[in-house]
Every structure is written in structure tokens, then in C-alpha cells.
Amino acid sequence: MAYSDKVLDHYNHPRNVGSMDKSDSAVGTGMVGAPECGDVMKLQIKVNPLTGIIDDAKFKTFGCGSAIASSSLATEWLKGKTVDEALTIKNTDIVNELALPPVKIHCSVLAEDAIKAAISDYKIKQGADVAALAQAH
Amino acid sequence: MKPIYFDNHATTQLDPRVLQAMLPYFTEMFGNAASRNHAYGWEAEEAVEKSRGQIASLIGANSKEIVFTSGATESNNLAIKGVAEMYAEKGNHIITAATEHKAVLDTCKHLEKKGCRVTYLPVMGDGRIDMEMLQSAITDKTILISIMYANNEIGVLQPIAEIGKLAKERGVLFHTDAVQAVGKVPVNVISDNIDLMSITAHKMYGPKGVGALYVRRKGPRVQLTAQLDGGGHERGMRSGTLNVPGIVGLGEACAIAKAEMAEESKRLSGMRDRLRAKFEAALDEVFINGSMEHRLPHNLNMSFAYVEGESLLMGINDIAVSSGSACTSATLEPSYVLKALGLGDDMAHTSIRFGLGRFNTDAEVDYVADKLISVVIKLRELSPLYEMVKEGIDLSKVQWTAH
């Protein structure tokens, strides 16, 4: 299969590879997929508590080149966005940007799921913090 | 530069000596081997008979027992369907194995629709069938056992001589798809009690589009129902004008294999073992798929855990190998052969098949090993699974969100 130049670029030079502290309340972690399916994505965001803007994003992906590229691209797009802006990223945007063929669309879906899961984790943590604060009062 | 070719189970490069032998039969010696009344026909027939002898000599057969076909898919179809139809009055039960090539499995499935009963034997963790299970699968309706000599993905050799002996004792015909084995390891239809055997030229440095079926003539005399109607060539078993240049190529490939097999298999197994040793020295969590003891000398099939096969192939795009990963298959399913060994889908996704061949060099082995190791290390840095395992997490206990 021929890969697009953009997929190759992300595969050869993946952006923002790494892990952040899962227990940090400013960090949201999303892990989607399953080893049996051949794809697992872990995507993390770190949100600035003062501005509500995603300061940092990291990923690690087990999967094909298109899955790696989709998650690498997602981390690039997440940085600098507010959490609500991040929720507007759609899998079709990733498909278009990376010129993914139809058999690889599920990779972009997985990346969108990972973004949503990371944001959801972050929001739950914030809610938990508020609850904890309320309880303390 | 073209990629380094380590995919010799898929096909092999034509040996230049084979090409030289074939060339005259495309041009000045173009006759039809069935033309009985002029020199063009005679020289073509002579070339065909020479090839028959070369093939027979490699496998311990008589040259009259060689039927030319278009390749192993046709040979497998002819053997299995031909027996099922010819011996329909005797029985309708066929025994085969889960790890067979699709040309055998799909032929059996076709026959099931026509009223045959087929037993698909599972294999053990090392890829071999269980002889006791085979023994107990045989009934008085069993007419054929079809078990491959060597597997195309994992290179595992089945206990062919034991199967042949059992089949003979029980009066059941024994067919083996031997495309990966003939010319690579010693094969003898007499000592192995093989009744039918499929061969193809292009897996042994010959041309594509030509193969043969060995059909035993004595003890027992095997009969087949022809699958093609026509001029009654090949003792009525396979009609169609013979592919003389291809047949010459197959014969020459067999003659070369016979002369060089002992030395070549030693050289290739040495290279294969070195490749394996390099991987195991540099990487943790790599696993061999299938028996190392009962294996073709030029095959290595390994799982590089926590690194998905297609992404691995992408990083080694200057090397031609195959993966058991779903993403690399037409069906988007991971290898059914690896699954039959009991491998989970997760490990099948991380497998790579290396098939060494006559034209590979030691320098290529070093290059492939170094390159693959560096890509596996890089991709493991990217792998959330590898990270979790290193943190001591048991992946089998994780709640995954399957999609």
C-alpha cells in the first residue's frame, strides 16, 4: 500500500511522543482500542488551569502507520486549543489532512475517540476536584 | 535500489541457469509436445520427458508418475477433487488440517457443499498435527488425508513419514502439498508413503505458471477424475497443451536443487539462525512461532511483541518480508495459521515471516537484523503496550475498548 507523504512524515518524525503523569489533576488521559484489534492509542492532554487552554499533548500508539500518524497529528492540533475547541476536531478532518484511504478511516475514528476520552478524563478529574473542595468546606 | 528480498516463501527469483535452459523452447524449439509426426513435436516431447525424469529423480518417483499442471493450486484441486470424485463409491470423508494453504482448505470447503464430509484437524502449539488425533479421525468412509509437507508461513514440517505409514496401514490415500518443501529438504515419495504430491516451480527458483502432481502408479495405483475436459494429455488426467518452456524450467530447477540442496540448506539454516540470534540478543519479548526442530532451513517467523506488523513493515520498506498482521492481509484478519497455533490476535498482529533464499547473502542478513532491531526499538518507544508491560501491568487484565 502506498502511504501519503503526510502519513510518512508523521511516521518518520512522530510529534509529541511520550507520557505525562496520569495522577496530575491537570492531565487528561484517553486510552482506546485493543491489542487484539491491532490498535491501541494513548493520548494525554495537559490543561492550563488559569487559561483553560491545552498547553501540552502527548501520545503513544500501537498500530499501523496511519494510526500513528492520526494520533501524532491529533496532538499537534490539540495544543493551543481550549477543551471545548478540542471537542470540535472530527475524524474526517484527520482523514482529509492525512489523505487516508477508506480502509484506514478507522484509525482516524480511533484518534477522535482518544481525544474525547482524554477530555472526558480531564473533566471528570475537575469535577472530582470541585466535589472534593465542596466536601472540604 | 530495490528492497532486499527475504520473502522466498511467496515466490523465488528465477535461477539464471533455469532461464538459460528454458530460452530455446520459446523460440526455435517451439513445437507442441503432442505433435507425433514431425521433429518440432519430437524435440518438445523429448524436453518434456527429460523434465519428468528430473522431477521424478528429485522425489524418488518414476517419471511416469509426474502429471504437469499450471501450478500447485491446480495440483491441489486435481488431487483432492479428483480423488473425491473417483472414490466416491468407497467413501466421502477427507481429513486435512487447519493450517493448510487456501488452495487445499477452499477445495475441501467446495467438496463439503457437494456432500463430502471434511475433518479439519487442529494443530498443536508447535504447528504440527497430533498423530493420535489423526488416527482417531479416520473412519471406514475416509478416502483421503491431505496434510501439507511444510507450512508456508511458519515453515513447520509435518510428520509426513508417520502420516504416510498410517494412511497406508488404513488403506487411505495420502496427498501432500509439498510446494514449500520440495527442493529445500529431502522428499521421497517411497519412504514417506506419499500417494499424491503437489509441486510448483516458482517456489524453487523456477518459473511461475507451471507445476506438477505426483500420482502413484503402484501400491496402490491411484486414479483421478480429470478436472479439465479436452485432448486427454497427461494420461487423461490433465488435458491442455503442455507449457514446454515452463516444464523445462521446472525440470532444470529440480536438477539444480538435487545437486545443491545439501549445501544450500546448510548455508540458509546458518543464516537463519544468525538472524534469529541477533534479534534475541538485541530485543526482549520476541517469540518464535512454530517448532524450530521440525522446520524448513530457510524459514523464520517471529512475533515482535507490542509492535504492530504493518507499522514495522513501514519502517523497513527497503526489505521485502511478510507479516501476519491483519492490516497487511486482504481479508483484514490476522493470520489463521498463527491463530491455529493458539496465538492470540495481539501476537499474530506483531509477527514477521522471513524467507531466506538462494540469492541472499550474509551481508543482507546483517543489514536486515540491524535495521529491524532499530525500528522495533523506535516503535516500542511509541508503544503504550510496551510501556505498560514495563510498568508491570498485566495486559490481559486491562479493560480494553474493543472497536
**What is the sign, positive or negative, of the torsion defined by CA atoms of B296, B300, B303, B307?**
negative
Given A21, A24, A37, A99, the catalytic residue: A37
Confidence of residue B128 (pLDDT cuts 50, 70, 90): very high
**Residues of B identified as active-site:** 327
Q: B299 — phi, psi (to 5°)?
A: -110, 140
The predicted structure's pLDDT at residue B323: 86
Query: Cis link prior to B3 (omega < 30° from 0)?
Result: no
* Chain A residues with CB-CB distance to B390 below 8 A: none
Query: Helices (DSSP H) in A42-104: which residue ranges?
Result: 65-78, 83-86, 91-98
The pLDDT mean for chain A works out to 92
Q: Do A35 and B384 touch (CB under 8 A)?
A: no
Angle at B31 between CA B26 and CA B32, to 5 degrees: 115
Q: Do B346 and A35 touch (CB under 8 A)?
A: yes
Q: Do A67 and B308 touch (CB under 8 A)?
A: yes
* Complex-level ipTM: 0.90
Q: Do B382 and A64 touch (CB under 8 A)?
A: no
**A135, pLDDT greater than 90:** no
**B330, pLDDT greater than 80:** no
- pLDDT tens digits, B10-20: 999 999 999 99
* Sequence letter at residue B232: G
The predicted structure's pLDDT at residue B326: 63
- Asked if residue B233 lies in contact with residue B32, where contact means CB atoms within 8 angstroms, the answer is no
**B347, pLDDT greater than 90:** no
- What's the Cα-to-Cα distance from B241 to each of B230, B325, B357, rounded to whole Å? 10, 40, 32
List all residues 6 or more positions away from B69 whose beta carbon is below 8 Å from its beta carbon: B75, B78, B210, B211, B212, B213, B238
**B260, pLDDT greater than 70:** yes
- pLDDT tens digits, B356-378: 999 999 999 999 999 999 999 99
Greatest CA separation for chain B? 80
| Test mutation, A10, A16, A36, A112, chain B, max B CBs within 10 A | A36
> How far B221 CA lies from chain A's nearest CA (Å)?
48
Give me the residues of B, 294-323, that contact A with CB < 8 A. Answer: 306-308, 310-311, 314-315
**B403, pLDDT greater than 70:** no
Greatest CA separation for chain A? 60
Residue B129: is it exposed, middle or buried by C-beta count within 10 angstroms (0-12/13-18/19+)?
Answer: buried
* Chain B residues with CB-CB distance to A62 below 8 A: 306-308, 382-386
State the Cα–Cα distance between residues B170 and B135, nearest whole angstrom: 9
Given A47, A68, A107, A115, the catalytic residue: A107
CB pairs under 8 A between A and B: 88
The predicted structure's pLDDT at residue B36: 93
Domain architecture of chain A: domains with CATH: 5-125 (3.90.1010.10)
> How far A33 CA lies from chain B's nearest CA (Å)?
5
The predicted structure's pLDDT at residue B329: 61
**A63 torsion bin: left (phi>0), alpha (psi -120 to 50), beta (else):** left
> How far B328 CA lies from chain A's nearest CA (Å)?
9
